[in-house]
Structure 1
Amino acid sequence: MNASNATPKTDVGDASEALHRYRQDLHRLESERAQLKSRDRQFGSARVVLFLLAIVFLVLGTDIGGMPPVWPIGWLMVIGFLIAVVLNEPVRERIESLRNERSVLRRLIARIERDWDRLSTDKMERKLAELDLSADQRDVASDLDLLGRASLFHLLSMTATTPGIRTLASWLTQPAIAEQAIRRREAIEALAPLRDERLRFYKLSRKVAESSGSPDRFTEWAIGEAWLEKRNWLSIWANLSVVLAVLFVLAIMGGALQLLSVDFVKIGLFGIVGLGVVNVLLTAVVLGPAHAIFSVAMSSRGAVAEYVELFHSAAWLPEEKPLEKDTVQPHKEGLATDIPRADSRLSQLRETLLTNDRAAVKGMQSLQKVASAGALRQSAATFLLYLPLQAFALWDVRVLRKLESWQAQYRDVVHDWFEALGEFESLMSIAALRDEYPNWAVPSWKANPKQNLPSGSVLEASALGHPLLGDSNRVTNDVSVGPSGTLLLVTGSNMSGKSTMLRSIGLNVALAGTGAPVCASAFALPSMELATSIRVSDNLSQGVSFYMAELHRLKQVVEHARRLSEKQDRVLLFLLDEILQGTNSRERQIAVVQVLRHLINLKAIGAISTHDLELADEPELNSIAHTVHFRETILKDKEGNDTMTFDYRMQQGVSPTTNALRLLEMVGL
């Protein structure tokens, strides 16, 4: 017997146009990069030849070489070498820029192709693992593939900086609330058409993430205490050092010019050397923490400049216009058409990053000036200038004093800068999905779900698909979950698509909560929180059996529903897959009904899947359940063997078939 899948069908469109566009851009980029690399090799060869010829002619032009007339040719070769270096630099910078752009385009393509191996990196997984999530959030994220490899995060994310990654991940794991989602959606709709600007932003954010310091450490320093304030004697000594250095130099000059006694020369020399020794010792012993602050606050002048450029990209933000009311279907009763509008989110981001008196751009430009002074010690070209300034004027103390003056001016707004950057980067990521999938639905939100019963607490979707499946593999179904007091019971044989249906519902709710379009032709829902029991495992190290682990997870779901039962602005959506498999059939049926009774009494809505057909016949469950099923079809192939196919189409009623024994036969048992 063979098992195969029927030809998939999707009703929500695909991203073929965007994929074609990205591939064309990548091809153009690769062609330009190949030409530039060829030119770079030519410059490289010219530099080597000019350098060698310069050495040869300069040596021949010496007395040793015995050919004095040729040395001008050597210097001409030196000049030619320097010109080649100068001309080669823009070529190499452009090659590096194209490398960055190529990386961005490859990620955009990998998202559409669902190439999870390319999308998921160890660095990204570490950042996602460090997120501060509750136990409920981590369970839902694991059950629905919200984070981690082959996840909704990687489908959405073009984020590169830590604030962007953290913000997008938190949106995916937070409740789906109408007001927040609509405000985000309005921003996304405004950003979606800005294809060139988005590509530039993605390139810039990746460059900043690869080369700049940690935003978290920078924020921690900015809001923390000033180190120099408690060591005011260092500032006093830095000023005194300048006075002493000037006096010692005047003494030396006065003695040398015989304006003063010769003894003043000795005094000046001993004084200047002693001052230098004292300040070098202070630098080594006392100023270590100051240098650590430099590495956090201005890891390099270039790093600060990159943040200035990234924050300045807020200038690309359009003045967003409120969405037309018909995008939330005001003609349907109970939809969220009267949600209070706050100021334009993009306008708020623009103000925080760009236009107000203490905007991120202005603050970073001010810091850039301090970083220029601090960069003297970091550059080989300026280190010789830094040494006397530090030895005789404690330059580092002066830079730190300016740095802490900046800190005092901006400490209470720095956190807001990076929060705004994280939100901006997340919106830019989701805008790509909106542009790539124009046929995916804009969600409609139902207001006050528990005050508009029964229709207010119903999730309704037409042509709902699993967003993580490739466009050519996706099958869609019409789904309705709710109202309160009812549940969706999904039955069917193994491998028929029950778990995929539950995840499709949950993933699209998470998408809707971020303000993103959803993988459906229509999607209406109330504000809701998710609770799931899909992937449960035992824990032998803690003595927890599989059945006990299932009970703990179900208790979390029920407790979650209890916390929400008194809230009128949202409902709990539970998704339970083949629960309580760790006990016998009869007790399982009783236990499942008991758990569902708790959830129904707490006004939660949800879906539960099972291949236990006896459970579907349980009278109490049957009275509250809307039952649907998925099934397989057995056909004969050309050789006369049974072939099992799945169409993944949801049908009404209890599944009329099972396939466990046929699958047993298929694997030869």
Structure 2
Amino acid sequence: MKKNKLEELKENYKQIIEKNTKIKNNISTIRLILFVVFVGLLILACFKKGFVFIFPALSFISFVVVSWYHHRYLKVVDDTNFKVTILNEYLARFDDSYKRSSDRGQDLKGDLFLEADLDIYGIGGLFGYLSFAKTPYGRKFLSDSLKSNIISEADLVTRQEAIHELASRLDDTIAIEGMAIKFSQENDKKKISSLENAFNLLSNNINFNTNKLFINIIYILLFVSSIILSILKFLPVYFPVIVIFIGYILGKLLYKEADGLGSAMQQINTSFYGYNYLLNEIQNKKYDSKLLNEYQKDINNLNAKSIKSFKVLSGFLNSRNNIIFQVLFNGILLLDGILVYLFILWQNKYENDFKNAIVAIGHFEELMSLATIEIVKDGSRPEISSKFSFDEIKHPLIEENRCVANSFNFKGTNIITGSNMSGKTTFMRSIGVNYILFLSGAFVCAKHFEAPICKLFTSMKVVDDVNNNISTFYGEILRVKDICAYIKTKEPMIVLVDEIFKGTNTKDRITGATAFAKKLIEAGSYAIITTHDSELCQIEGVSNYYFLEHYVDDKIAFDYTIREGVSNTRNAIYLLKMAGIMD
């Protein structure tokens, strides 16, 4: 159903493009005719006596008006093409083709175990599936929201409302995301550094003593005096020229800050060109949710006056690259000092507005990306509850037509057994990934989902670390150690452990796993431990579940459905024979 809706919207956009392209092309033809008429009339007016200039003037005005309309329709076509691009990206989520071109976010990867365990980054990762963010802040905020951070119930509800509104207002969201692509293309084309880095560069270049401005005043008075005295012939005529060169050298020595400011402001001016697309698109929207209104307010605070004053100041600083401009204006006014002072005034008044607007755009991108699940998946808005249960949960990163849904009600610590490839690990990852979505404020891939806000721990993809002399088993111990340390805080927690202590022998594994499970039971944690050791199912206080396989025409098959109880089947020998390792 959701795919059909997106395809229908895409078709509507394509019709808009087709219609406006025809109008644009017709206007382009009229514009060309008017230009030819204008040139012809202008030639006649120049060479034919009695031919009045009013006719070429009218044709030129007509040309300008038609050109304005042409630009207007061209913008509609371009912006709608960006919308089609966004819709193609949404549709790519239905067949996994998004993996070829999505932002994998690996540069944002931290050192959390769950990032690897739950495939947050990398090819086919959750970040790449969700992300429509193009600005540095947008990518960073999205990454931060996928790190299982604990927030208050009120903040989580506020985020849920904002994300749901963005998903519900799909056309507006697509329009903003389209401008984000335009921003990205502008950045790639100009190969510019990020706006955030440029602002940091500005701050590093400011070390200005306003007392220096008195030197400016004294110098200007001396320069004016030298001109007057030269006119009165008390000084040689060339003396003011000497003063100009002295002023140029004095300005270079006194106001070295101006060199760094010029470079930094040029970066900001260039970077901000791309941000303008996003600013203009967001400013024109009206939202109901509290959070979106807060971010929009930060964007609207960046008014036209602050942008214009910045561009004027930036233009003067960039003009310093012209040696004639620099010699004349520094030599006459010590202009560098005045420009640095004017920048400090601008910085005190407007810089925070610039920064807040860029941060707010980043938050918009974060929340729009988190709306992806609601836009493309069948799911629900999760509820905050003291219970932890869900109905028909699915893994968000598996195509829906081949993903098996499962329902589950946590009863403290749970042991899951089952043969290889039966679905134990995927089930746990489904829980982990959806729980991260829950904490971010996004929809989850489940018919119903309720959970408490608490810390999530995982131990799944444990690997050895040769550089730090850590074996697979010791790597598991370090993870379990972190969990045991958190138990002491008496705070609620969710624990997902796959194939516990698989890096050691059976006897030690069972002994260690039993001790760990008892700690989880005592703490009242929500926990799942998968294992092939049925002995763990005998621990007092655990609930037992299992997955199984069946055989069709001597071929192994799985239904990937969780059941209550203990597994009594094995398939390792069958798989070894299937691989040709055993006869």
2:343 counterpart residue number: 403
Determine if the alignment matches structure 1 residue 646 to structure 2 residue 572. no
Give, in angstroms, the shift of residue 384 of structure 1.
Answer: 8.1
Q: Do the aligned residues in 2 keep the contact of 1:143 with 1:534 (CA within 8 Å)?
A: yes
Q: Do the aligned residues in 1 keep the contact of 2:415 with 2:537 (CA within 8 Å)?
A: no
The separation in 1 between residues aligned to 2:166 and 2:521, in whole angstroms, is: 41
1:481 counterpart residue number: 410
Secondary structure class of the residue paired with 1:469: coil
The separation in 1 between residues aligned to 2:67 and 2:322, in whole angstroms, is: 21
The separation in 1 between residues aligned to 2:80 and 2:218, in whole angstroms, is: 52
Counterpart among 583, 602, 609 of residue 504 in structure 2: 583
Counterpart among 381, 384, 388 of residue 445 in structure 1: 384
Check 1:275–1:657 CA distance in 2 against 1; reply closer, same or farther (3 A cut): same
Check 1:530–1:392 CA distance in 2 against 1; reply closer, same or farther (3 A cut): same
Q: Do the aligned residues in 2 keep the contact of 1:301 with 1:368 (CA within 8 Å)?
A: no
Check 1:413–1:226 CA distance in 2 against 1; reply closer, same or farther (3 A cut): farther
1:503 counterpart residue number: 429
Check 1:15–1:608 CA distance in 2 against 1; reply closer, same or farther (3 A cut): farther
The separation in 2 between residues aligned to 1:118 and 1:391, in whole angstroms, is: 58
1:349 counterpart residue number: 295
The separation in 2 between residues aligned to 1:167 and 1:541, in whole angstroms, is: 31
The separation in 1 between residues aligned to 2:355 and 2:214, in whole angstroms, is: 32
The separation in 2 between residues aligned to 1:436 and 1:384, in whole angstroms, is: 59
Residues 543-589 of structure 1, C-alpha deviations (whole Å, 9 max, x = no match): 22211112112212222333x41x3xxx2100011121112222211
The separation in 1 between residues aligned to 2:69 and 2:357, in whole angstroms, is: 38
Q: Do the aligned residues in 2 keep the contact of 1:107 with 1:119 (CA within 8 Å)?
A: no
Check 1:517–1:643 CA distance in 2 against 1; reply closer, same or farther (3 A cut): same
Check 1:431–1:268 CA distance in 2 against 1; reply closer, same or farther (3 A cut): same
1:309 counterpart residue number: 280
Give, in angstroms, the shift of residue 397 of structure 1.
Answer: 3.6
Determine if the alignment matches structure 1 residue 422 to structure 2 residue 362. yes
Secondary structure class of the residue paired with 2:302: helix
- State the structure with bigger RCO (CA 8 A, min sep 6), 1 or 2: 1
1:202 counterpart residue number: 177
The separation in 1 between residues aligned to 2:157 and 2:405, in whole angstroms, is: 25
Instruction: Trace 1:83-102 onto structure 2 (pairs within 5 A).
Output: 97=79, 100-102=82-84
1:111 counterpart residue number: 93
Check 1:419–1:668 CA distance in 2 against 1; reply closer, same or farther (3 A cut): same
Check 1:471–1:399 CA distance in 2 against 1; reply closer, same or farther (3 A cut): farther
1:371 counterpart residue number: 311
Give, in angstroms, the shift of residue 533 of structure 1.
Answer: 0.3
Give, in angstroms, the shift of residue 218 of structure 1.
Answer: 5.0
Q: Which amino acid aligns with 2:291?
A: R
Q: Do the aligned residues in 2 keep the contact of 1:143 with 1:532 (CA within 8 Å)?
A: yes
Instruction: Trace 1:136-535 onto structure 2 (pairs within 5 A).
Output: 138-177=112-151, 178-209=153-184, 210-211=186-187, 214-218=194-198, 220=200, 224=203, 227-230=206-209, 232-233=211-212, 235-239=213-217, 242-243=220-221, 255=231, 260-261=232-233, 264-272=236-244, 274-275=245-246, 277-278=248-249, 281-282=252-253, 287-295=258-266, 297-299=268-270, 302=273, 305=276, 308-309=279-280, 312-313=283-284, 315-318=285-288, 320=289, 344-354=290-300, 360-362=301-303, 365-376=305-316, 378=318, 388-389=328-329, 392-410=332-350, 416-437=356-377, 439-446=378-385, 456=386, 458-483=387-412, 487-535=413-461
Q: Which amino acid aligns with 1:535?
A: K
Secondary structure class of the residue paired with 1:538: coil
Counterpart among 482, 493, 515 of residue 556 in structure 1: 482
Counterpart among 553, 572, 578 of residue 660 in structure 1: 572
Give, in angstroms, the shift of residue 521 of structure 1.
Answer: 0.7
Residues 200-225 of structure 1, C-alpha deviations (whole Å, 9 max, x = no match): 22123344455375243355467x57
Give, in angstroms, the shift of residue 191 of structure 1.
Answer: 3.0
Q: Do the aligned residues in 2 keep the contact of 1:176 with 1:514 (CA within 8 Å)?
A: no
> What's the TM-score, normalizing by structure 2?
0.81
Q: RMSD of aligned C-alpha atoms?
A: 4.4
The separation in 2 between residues aligned to 1:38 and 1:311, in whole angstroms, is: 30
Secondary structure class of the residue paired with 2:402: coil
Q: Which amino acid aligns with 1:405?
A: L
Gaps of at least 5 residues in structure 1 are 1-13, 59-67, 70-75, 321-343, 355-359, 447-455, 637-641
Check 1:376–1:408 CA distance in 2 against 1; reply closer, same or farther (3 A cut): closer
Task: Identify the range of structure 1 (387-396 vs 197-206) with the bigger mean alpha-carbon deviation.
Answer: 387-396
Secondary structure class of the residue paired with 1:462: strand
The separation in 2 between residues aligned to 1:575 and 1:29, in whole angstroms, is: 49
Q: Which amino acid aligns with 1:145?
A: D
Give, in angstroms, the shift of residue 98 of structure 1.
Answer: 5.2
Q: Which amino acid aligns with 1:468?
A: L
Give, in angstroms, the shift of residue 478 of structure 1.
Answer: 0.8
Secondary structure class of the residue paired with 1:192: helix
> What's the TM-score, normalizing by structure 1?
0.72
Give, in angstroms, the shift of residue 441 of structure 1.
Answer: 1.5
Residues 122-155 of structure 1, C-alpha deviations (whole Å, 9 max, x = no match): 7x432x23xxx5x4xx211211122333222223
The separation in 1 between residues aligned to 2:32 and 2:298, in whole angstroms, is: 49
Check 1:301–1:249 CA distance in 2 against 1; reply closer, same or farther (3 A cut): farther
The separation in 2 between residues aligned to 1:557 and 1:301, in whole angstroms, is: 45
Check 1:667–1:200 CA distance in 2 against 1; reply closer, same or farther (3 A cut): same
The separation in 1 between residues aligned to 2:572 and 2:349, in whole angstroms, is: 69
2:106 counterpart residue number: 125
Give, in angstroms, the shift of residue 93 of structure 1.
Answer: 6.0
The separation in 1 between residues aligned to 2:443 and 2:410, in whole angstroms, is: 19
Q: Which amino acid aligns with 2:547?
A: F
Gaps of at least 5 residues in structure 2 are 49-55
Aligned residues: 565
The separation in 2 between residues aligned to 1:533 and 1:251, in whole angstroms, is: 85
1:64 counterpart residue number: none
Give, in angstroms, the shift of residue 664 of structure 1.
Answer: 1.6
Q: Do the aligned residues in 1 keep the contact of 2:411 with 2:543 (CA within 8 Å)?
A: no
Give, in angstroms, the shift of residue 374 of structure 1.
Answer: 1.6
Check 1:488–1:307 CA distance in 2 against 1; reply closer, same or farther (3 A cut): same
The separation in 2 between residues aligned to 1:311 and 1:275, in whole angstroms, is: 50
Q: Do the aligned residues in 1 keep the contact of 2:298 with 2:360 (CA within 8 Å)?
A: yes
Q: Which amino acid aligns with 1:588?
A: R
2:513 counterpart residue number: 592
